[in-house]
Amino acid sequence: MGSEKLKIIYAWNYFEWGGAQIYFFGLIRRIREHADITIVLPENSDKQLITFIENLGVETYFFPVENYRKSTTSIFDKPRLHLGKFAAERALLKALFRHDLAGAIVHVELAPWQSLYSLIRLCRRSNVFITMHNSFPPVPGWRKAIWKAKFALISRNDNFHIFPSNNDAKNALKPYVTQEFLDRTKVTYTNVDPDEIAQALTSKIDKDLLREKFGLPKNRSLVFCVGQFIDRKGRWTFLDAARRVTEKRSDTAFVWIANSKPSDEDLAKARSYGLEDNFFLILSEEVGKEHLDLFKLLRLADLFVLASTQEGLPISLLEAMALGIASISTNVNAIPEAVHHLETAWLIEPNDAPALADAVETLLNDDALRKRLANDGQKFVLKEFNEIAVAEIALIEYRRAVGARK
């Protein structure tokens, strides 16, 4: 390819945002000098997300779509969810086809088991990359057979490529693709920006002022979580453990930073744990316009907890560890790739509030252990999950795909 610039489009069709977008942003930061980049996303997307994109300095293209979200909490919402998914996917394709896709890379948030037709249509016009952040959930045999047939169809297309963002996700592909496809599939880890981490750690902050700004109590240890306030993030295990800890000690408070406001029903259930001023829910839009603002707030944390029941390799956990915060998480999916028990962080089983409460208490009472896990976890993440190395892999694969197509 020589010095010829790539043409890359990053795209998604939903309003929720989180680790998938942060992963995209990491690639964009490191690749933008080698490529003309466009982000395609729905109109009326979250204002904070749009600010993050503006800070990247790349072209954006907004398309109209109804307020489609990827998940639901009620079986009665499923028909509406499927209709919304179909409409949002159609709108995304229409938006993408308005661009010149000849010779382009389209890195899109679609999945073969849900969006086979759309991916096939895109592969006819461009090289298509998807990222698999999670392994597959347990499903009945008939559904697994359908998924296998879909993968067999799409993986035969030379223009279709997968980036698993952890080894657990890559290994989950084994029943669905050929060994040849798997061998050429490169892991591009969920990762952290070492420059941003360094900036956060060297920035001067007034911790008392930060506590006052967000209404957090002084002279108390703070246990943080960052993520969507949803079941698979272990929210009720987190609150149950918080109740157990605060019943024994009055010197600890728990903080959850969520990127969207929970429903009234969820807030009512959260209040039922009786935590009162021992639990604080902060919306990420209140934190600031830059990712660095989140890191500065996280520097108040004595511990970071992510009690997920299903995950890929969560960016919030990696960022907390990179910031030198002793962390606790669960033995699910790809999390053990970063959390080596009592080496880089503390590992518990999911849905085990007593074990989580015990881990929190132990680490708050043992300064030496807490500091050792914080230091060793930080070194491990900055070495193994580094944005620079991941972007280099992605850039090589993008160029190889375009070169093969020519």
pLDDT in tens, 92-118: 999 999 999 999 999 999 999 999 999
C-beta of residue 255 within 8 angstroms of C-beta of residue 229: no
pLDDT, residue 79, reads 64
The average confidence (pLDDT) of the chain is 93
Range with the poorest average pLDDT among 75-84, 129-138, 357-366: 75-84
Range with the poorest average pLDDT among 74-78, 176-180, 239-243: 74-78
pLDDT, residue 137, reads 84
Res. 334 pLDDT band, cuts 50 70 90:
very high
pLDDT, residue 364, reads 98
Res. 392 pLDDT band, cuts 50 70 90:
very high
Q: What is the CATH number of domain 194-384?
A: 3.40.50.2000
Q: Is the pLDDT of residue 84 over 90?
A: no
- Give me the mean pLDDT over the 63-87 stretch: 67
Same CATH topology for 6-191+386-405 and 194-384: the answer is: yes
C-beta of residue 281 within 8 angstroms of C-beta of residue 287: no
Q: Which two tokens stand for residue 195?
A: 């420059």
Can you give the pTM of this predicted structure? 0.87
Name which of 343, 371, 326, 295 is nearest 223 in CA terms.
Answer: 326
Name which of 26, 48, 41, 8 is nearest 293 in CA terms.
Answer: 48
Give the Cα separation of 136 and 132 in Å (integer): 10
Q: Is the pLDDT of residue 280 over 90?
A: yes
Q: Looking at domain 6-191+386-405, what is its CATH homologous superfamily?
A: Glycogen Phosphorylase B; (3.40.50.2000)
- Give me the mean pLDDT over the 150-173 stretch: 96
What number of H helices and E strands is found in the chain? 17, 12
Could you tell me the residue ranges of all domains in the chain?
6-191+386-405, 194-384
pLDDT, residue 78, reads 60
Res. 2 pLDDT band, cuts 50 70 90:
very low
pLDDT, residue 19, reads 87
**Distance in angstroms between the alpha carbons of the first and the last residue of the chain:** 10
pLDDT, residue 228, reads 92
Cβ atoms within 10 Å of 17's Cβ, excluding its own: 20
Q: CA-CA distances (angstroms) from residue 382 to 94, 118, 198?
A: 40, 37, 10
- Contacts of residue 296, Cβ cutoff 8 Å, sequence gap at least 6: 200, 203, 205, 210, 288
Alpha helices (H) along 35-77: 47-56
